[in-house]
């Protein structure tokens, strides 16, 4: 302890006395119950941590259940009868299915070409977005909608579908066009006889 | 202190058996140190015991993460010191309690041995020291720790501890000079 030698003799005595006092003050013993208290504290902490874990687990389960419920009860998965059909989204579908009262139950592949448009909820139908209807002329959309509503309100009549089918006729067989054979254009000087052939 | 051995068998179920035994041993040898370190800061038995309990609880939680278990004592001591300092700084009741002591509460046996006024002056002088000097003084007074032990407990080079001890003694001497008997 060479550095302490720089203290004066008086300071040395003061410090020695202070250190002796401090040793005496700090010679205090913990109470005999301290160990039991420590055990209780550790138990309490462990219990509270366990409860905290259970709380987190419960929260996670509840969140997962809420997510599953939200997915299961989404409007797209609920029955969307007439109100859910977007009249102006796929006019062709509506026209073809005009003889049916509830086209959501149509199992034919023809009418399931555009399931998204057919099962759209009214709320979603009102939303502006990148839907095909935005490129349709509004007047045409209105006309198609009116026609679809009129057809829907009309009595179901099988003859209508037959008439439509007859009008449309059987689809023409697909013919593959021959490649267009165009002769090479050759430029010639104009004839002097005014183009009259002899 | 002896009830640790039997007491923890049903308590520390989360540590495996070897670790549990080791933890018991470390605690048994460090309880008094933790308590005294806390008492050196707080000067209140109940608060010191509370801080010691908190330190043990923290030590238990992190015991498996302690790589060098031989350093448990130093680790626990530093944790206790930090907790005690935090408590000392934040505890608003301390002022009221010290006031109550001054107003005539029964002094502890240690204070009787030292004399109330001298003890108060000494604690005041220690409180004026910077924290890094204060811990050296307190540790030196506990269990007669020498420089090497203090260096190990504080995880500092021995030279640093010597220098801090010198500065702490010098500071104490300056604070307590007025109390010295004039020869």
pLDDT for res B169? 92
* Chain-chain contact of A28 with B45 (C-beta, under 8 angstroms): yes
| pLDDT range class, residue A97, cuts 50, 70, 90 | very low
Quote ipTM for the complex: 0.76
CA distance A17 to B135: 18
Mutation to test the A interface, candidates B166, B171, B182, B183, most A Cβ within 10 Å: B166
pLDDT for res B167? 93
pLDDT for res A103? 47
Query: A51 to chain B, minimum CA–CA distance in Å?
Result: 15
Q: Is A28 part of the contact surface with chain B (CB cutoff 8 Å)?
A: yes
**Is the domain covering B116-176 a CATH 1.10.10.10 domain?**
yes
- At a CB cut-off of 8 Å and minimum separation 6, what does A131 contact? A89, A117
User: Residue A65 belongs to what H/E stretch?
Assistant: helix A34-72
pLDDT for res A134? 58
pLDDT for res A100? 47
Q: Which residue of A has its CA nearest to B110?
A: A25
Residue appearing with tokens 């801080």: B51
Portion of chain A with pLDDT greater than 90, in percent: 4
- What residues of B are in contact with residue A13 (Cβ under 8 Å)? 180
The region of weakest confidence among A67-71, A155-159, B76-80 is A155-159
- Please give the C-alpha separations between residue A90 and each of A99, A124, B174, in angstroms, as whole numbers: 16, 15, 95
Q: Which residue of A has its CA nearest to B167?
A: A4
Q: Does the pLDDT value for residue A86 go beyond 70?
A: no
- What residues of A are in contact with residue B60 (Cβ under 8 Å)? 42
pLDDT, one tens digit per residue, over A23-66 is: 988 988 888 888 888 878 877 877 777 777 778 888 899 999 99
User: Residue B29 belongs to what H/E stretch?
Assistant: helix B17-42
pLDDT for res A177? 64
| pLDDT range class, residue A127, cuts 50, 70, 90 | low
Q: Which residue of B has its CA nearest to A18?
A: B122
pLDDT, one tens digit per residue, over B47-58 is: 999 999 999 999
* Chain-chain contact of B180 with A13 (C-beta, under 8 angstroms): yes
Higher pLDDT, A12 or A113: A12
- Please give the C-alpha separations between residue A11 and each of A4, A132, A151, B141, B164, in angstroms, as whole numbers: 10, 95, 111, 18, 16
* Range among A101-110, A134-143, B64-73, B159-168 rated most confident: B159-168
* Positions of chain B with pLDDT under 50: 1-13, 183
pLDDT for res B1? 37
CB B87 within 8 A of CB B37: no
Query: Hey, is B170 helix, strand or coil?
Result: helix
pLDDT for res A108? 46
Q: Which residues 8-27 in chain A show a CB within 8 A of chain B?
A: 10-15, 17-19, 21-27
Residue spans of the domains in chain B: they are 11-105, 116-176
Q: Does the pLDDT value for residue A88 go beyond 80?
A: no
Query: A34 to chain B, minimum CA–CA distance in Å?
Result: 7
- At a CB cut-off of 8 Å and minimum separation 6, what does B121 contact? B176, B179
Averaged pLDDT, A124-128? 52
Q: Does the pLDDT value for residue A107 go beyond 60?
A: no
pLDDT for res A128? 53
Q: Is B120 part of the contact surface with chain A (CB cutoff 8 Å)?
A: no
Residue (of B123, B132, B140, B122) closest to B179 by Cα position: B122
Q: Is B40 part of the contact surface with chain A (CB cutoff 8 Å)?
A: yes
pLDDT, one tens digit per residue, over A55-68 is: 888 889 999 999 99
* Chain-chain contact of B8 with A39 (C-beta, under 8 angstroms): yes
CA distance B92 to B98: 11
Mutation to test the A interface, candidates B57, B116, B122, most A Cβ within 10 Å: B57
Q: pTM for this structure?
A: 0.54
Q: What string of H, E and C letters represents the secondary structure of A70-98?
A: HHHCCHHHCCCCHHHCCCCCCHHHHHHCC
Fold assignment, B11-105: Rna Polymerase Sigma Factor; Chain: A (1.10.1740)
């Amino acid at each position: 302890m060479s550095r302490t030698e720089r203290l004066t003799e008086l300071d040395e005595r003061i410090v020695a006395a202070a250190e002796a006092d401090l040793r005496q003050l700090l010679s205090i013993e913990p109470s005999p119950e301290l160990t039991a208290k420590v055990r209780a504290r550790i138990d309490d902490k462990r219990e509270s941590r366990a409860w905290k874990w259970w709380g987190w687990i419960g929260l996670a389960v509840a969140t997962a259940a809420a997510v599953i419920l939200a997915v299961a009860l989404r409007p797209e998965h609920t029955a969307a009868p007439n109100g859910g059909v977007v009249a102006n989204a796929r006019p062709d579908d509506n026209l073809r299915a005009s003889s049916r009262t509830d086209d959501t139950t149509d199992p034919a592949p023809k009418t399931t070409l555009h399931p998204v448009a057919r099962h759209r909820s009214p709320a979603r139908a009102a939303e502006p977005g990148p839907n095909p209807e935005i490129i349709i002329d509004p007047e045409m959309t209105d006309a198609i909608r009116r026609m679809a509503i009129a057809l829907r309100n009309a009595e179901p009549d099988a003859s209508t579908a037959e008439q439509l089918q007859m009008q449309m006729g059987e689809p023409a067989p697909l013919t593959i066009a021959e490649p267009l054979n165009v002769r090479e254009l050759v430029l010639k000087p104009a004839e002097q006889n005014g183009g009259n052939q002899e | 202190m002896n009830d640790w051995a039997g007491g923890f068998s049903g308590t520390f179920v989360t540590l495996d058996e070897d670790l549990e035994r080791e933890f018991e041993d470390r605690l048994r040898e460090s309880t008094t140190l933790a308590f005294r370190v806390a008492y050196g800061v707080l000067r209140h038995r109940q608060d010191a015991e509370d801080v010691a309990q908190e330190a043990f609880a923290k030590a238990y939680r992190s015991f498996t993460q302690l790589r060098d278990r031989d350093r448990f004592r130093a680790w626990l001591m530093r944790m206790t010191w930090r907790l005690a300092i935090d408590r000392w700084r934040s505890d608003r009741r301390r002022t009221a309690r010290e006031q109550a002591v001054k107003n005539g509460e029964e002094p502890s046996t240690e204070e009787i041995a030292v004399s109330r006024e001298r003890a108060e002056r000494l604690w005041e002088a220690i409180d004026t020291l910077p924290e890094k000097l204060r811990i050296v003084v307190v540790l030196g007074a506990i269990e007669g720790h020498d420089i090497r032990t203090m260096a190990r407990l504080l995880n500092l080079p021995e030279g640093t501890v010597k220098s801090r001890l010198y500065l702490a003694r010098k500071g104490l001497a300056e604070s307590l000079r007025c109390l010295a008997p004039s020869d």
